[in-house]
């Protein structure tokens, strides 16, 4: 299985943009890149996903490197409610399964 590497933690100031990196150097051509986040005492929540092109939705943007070996989740204006653990995950064709690694704990300072 292709694995992902993320920093253990990051800090941001409220209302500033946040760039959360993810390395996935062994990604295969058919792997999608998904991001989920988990707020304290809650189940994970889908954020965004993509294959090759950059993606935008109401929550965030996903920037994917041209060689697909890394990606960056961008929160355009961090709020206190964005404090969570963010997981970068690769999904593969065989069954829509998610394998979560350790994630990045994002702390947002007022």
Partner 1 sequence: DVKVTQSSRYLVKRTGEKVFLECVQDMDHENMFWYRQDPGLGLRLIYFSYDVKMKEKGDIPEGYSVSREKKERFSLILESASTNQTSMYLCASSFSRLGLHDEQFFGPGTRLTVL
Query: Rounded to the nearest whole angstrom, what is the least distance from the CB of residue 93 to partner 1 in the complex?
Result: 6
When the beta carbons of 10 and 32 are compared against partner 1, the nearer one is: 32
Query: Rounded to the nearest whole angstrom, what is the least distance from the CB of residue 3 to partner 1 in the complex?
Result: 11
When the beta carbons of 17 and 107 are compared against partner 1, the nearer one is: 107
Query: Rounded to the nearest whole angstrom, what is the least distance from the CB of residue 97 to partner 1 in the complex?
Result: 5
For 57-95, b/e burial (b = at least 16 CB within 10 A) is: eeebbbbbeeebebbbbebeebeeebbbbbbbbbbeeee
Binding site for partner 1 (CB under 8 A): 32, 34, 36, 41-46, 49, 87, 91, 93, 95-103
Tokens at 98, concatenated: 């998610």
């Amino acid at each position: 299985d292709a694995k992902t590497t993320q920093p253990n933690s990051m800090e941001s100031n409220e209302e500033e943009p946040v760039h959360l990196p993810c390395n996935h150097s062994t990604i295969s051509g058919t792997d999608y890149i998904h991001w989920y986040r988990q707020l304290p005492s809650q189940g994970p929540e889908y954020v965004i996903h993509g294959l090759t092109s950059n993606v935008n939705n109401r929550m965030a943007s996903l920037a994917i490197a041209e060689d697909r070996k890394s990606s960056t989740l961008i929160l355009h204006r961090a709020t206190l409610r964005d404090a969570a653990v963010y997981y970068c995950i690769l999904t593969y064709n065989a069954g829509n399964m998610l394998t979560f690694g350790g994630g990045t704990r994002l702390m947002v300072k007022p």
